[in-house]
Structure 1
Amino acid sequence: MKRHFLCVECLMKRHFEKAASIEKESDRLEYILEAMRLLSVDSDEPAPVFSARCRDLEDRYLGMTEKYAAIKKHYNALMLDMEADIARRIEESDDPLRTAMLYARAGNYIDFGSEKSFEPERFNEILDNAANDPLDEETYDRFVADMDKAGSMLYIADNCGEIVLDKLLMIQLHRRWPGVKKTFMVRGAPILNDVTREDAEQVGLDKLFDVVDNGTATPGTWIPSLPEETLNLLNSADVIISKGQANIECLGGCGLNIYYLLLCKCTHFSNVFSVERYTGMFINESDAGKLM
């Protein structure tokens, strides 16, 4: 998904907001000028690649990796406190797999790198309404049919906190298809509030499923930067579930059998899919790729 001018506006707005916390005016200016330079390197690359480029810059001036580490632990713990109740709701529903998918999608709201900052009240509202949200039935039926004949499935994760709901969905996937090899993929190094092995360990997901990292510190799965081992895993998976906007920004148009599960959290995504902000999407690459 090529970078849109709205992406540039959003990215720079966030950097101006971050720069405001830098004490020295000269440092604020240097920070913004460097961010602008990094943003202009390659306009064909999606927004998450720019965020990866700015990782060292943000650490040098703001110590963002350390700050995000604390945020991630907090929201993982918060969702772990809610896990038992949500698991009960899933089990008591008519279709636990479908319901788990809806909760996992709702969890995609926990994002500190999107256009809007995290609002606890809105998240609680989204979570409370998750089980009643629509899910594209044609896509869901196609997903079930693909899983019925699959030998392997790859689940590409996105954010902290959300990973607890991903775990609940993985449990339902395993219950429905115990013979399908399942792999859970996280980022290769800390970036924003994206999940790494440490998050998977904190929520206990590593005790249930194979966890691998993608070998990069990009907040998305950017194929040109992936190591051979990760590429082989992507290309060999019969079914892929990809969470969040950054992953579809990086993978959209790749042609693999990917099912994207996300909330449209910014103006550009709302425009691309012709939906309101925070609308949930469940769409296959064969349809999404045409829009990227």
Structure 2
Amino acid sequence: MHTQVECIACLTKQAAGLAREFLAPHKREPFMRRVLEGLARFDCDAPPPLFTREIYRIYRDMDGKGDPYGEKKRHSNEQALSLAPRLRRIIASRPDMLEAALRMAVAGNIIDFGLGAHGCEEIAVEDTIMNALDSSFAVNDIPELIERLRKAEHVLYVADNAGEIVLDRIFIEHIGPDRVTCAVRSAPVINDATLTDAAQAGLDRLCRVIPSGSEAPGTPLSLCSEEFLECFAAADLVISKGQGNFETLDAPGREVFHLFMVKCPVVSQEVDVPMGSFMAMKRG
């Protein structure tokens, strides 16, 4: 997916927010100047998450802190873990537990969207999940995905955000963890899940977890490690979580099931569905 004009404003706002929250006042203007200089040189044929990677490289170069949102990510994971027993009971009450766990994993994208702006009221999170369990999907390839999941011997599951990763764990429990390799980001970027978040969620004790090699908030194959690429090639089925992975995981001729919520107008236009839509889309 290409970077559009609207993405440039969004990337600039993202960088300004990072500077305002985590950089000392005297570093903010030099940081933004470097960001804007980089943005002027950025190839807009590339997807927007590739420039987010550059924003965080500049940030680490100027500040040295590894994970600016680390504390917020830990809190997000803790909140999701506190809900997990109730969520498992909800799944157990549904006629198709695998589909219920899948829909709940998509709801994780909604939870992240809410956390970004408003914080997380526990009852609101549960209400949102119940809505996802029974709502229509704008693109609904769930029946085919469920059928394929029941047969697949090796599933590659590309995770997205902290907090959400707890719901990914619940879904993987129902897929069959011995058949799953879960890939996370190789370095902190925004609130994307890393090996640290996977460990807090207990995912590393459930299935094989690997870093993808990507330091972007997505999974462009050009940045991925040899280990990830081998898993990607060998998997019977690839599940990609989140909008950033949808924007970056471009593999012509390779089927990928994308599970996400449409959160921005550019992606909304790309997939031709309204903002806020639930997506279970097969590409490739």
* TM-score where L is the length of structure 1: 0.86
* Alpha-carbon separation, structure 2, partners of 1:138 and 1:250: 21
Give 1:212's aligned residue: 210
Alignment of 1:51-200 (within 5 A): 51-60=52-61, 65-111=66-112, 117-120=117-120, 123=125, 125-135=127-137, 139-174=141-176, 181-200=179-198
Instruction: From the superposition, tell whether residues 131 and 145 of structure 1 become closer, same or farther in structure 2 (CA, over 3 Å).
Output: closer
* Alpha-carbon separation, structure 2, partners of 1:246 and 1:207: 26
1:219-273 Cα offsets, whole Å, 9 max, x none, are 1111111122211111111101100011011114533221000011111122222
* Alpha-carbon separation, structure 2, partners of 1:166 and 1:194: 13
Give 1:251's aligned residue: 249
Q: Structure 1 stretch 233-242 or stretch 121-130: which is displaced more? A: 121-130
Give 1:12's aligned residue: 12
- Structure 1 residue runs without a partner (length 5+): 287-292
Q: Per-residue deviation at 1:150?
A: 2.5
State the identity as a percent.
Answer: 32
| Counterpart secondary structure, 1:67 | coil
| Counterpart secondary structure, 2:160 | coil
1:111–1:118 CA contact under 8 A, matched in 2: no
* Alpha-carbon separation, structure 1, partners of 2:135 and 2:57: 39
1:154–1:185 CA contact under 8 A, matched in 2: yes
* Alpha-carbon separation, structure 1, partners of 2:205 and 2:35: 40
Q: Per-residue deviation at 1:279?
A: 1.4
1:187–1:196 CA contact under 8 A, matched in 2: yes
* Alpha-carbon separation, structure 1, partners of 2:138 and 2:150: 18
Instruction: From the superposition, tell whether residues 144 and 124 of structure 1 become closer, same or farther in structure 2 (CA, over 3 Å).
Output: closer
1:252–1:285 CA contact under 8 A, matched in 2: no
Letter in 1 for 2:179: K
* TM-score where L is the length of structure 2: 0.89
Q: How many residues align?
A: 279
| Counterpart secondary structure, 1:3 | coil
* Alpha-carbon separation, structure 2, partners of 1:140 and 1:157: 18
Instruction: From the superposition, tell whether residues 123 and 144 of structure 1 become closer, same or farther in structure 2 (CA, over 3 Å).
Output: closer
The alignment status of 1:38 with 2:38, answered yes or no, reads yes
| Counterpart secondary structure, 2:157 | strand
1:35-70 Cα offsets, whole Å, 9 max, x none, are 112223222221111111111322355666443111
| Counterpart secondary structure, 1:8 | helix
2:157–2:183 CA contact under 8 A, matched in 1: yes
2:105–2:168 CA contact under 8 A, matched in 1: yes
- Structure 2 residue runs without a partner (length 5+): none
Q: Per-residue deviation at 1:93?
A: 0.5
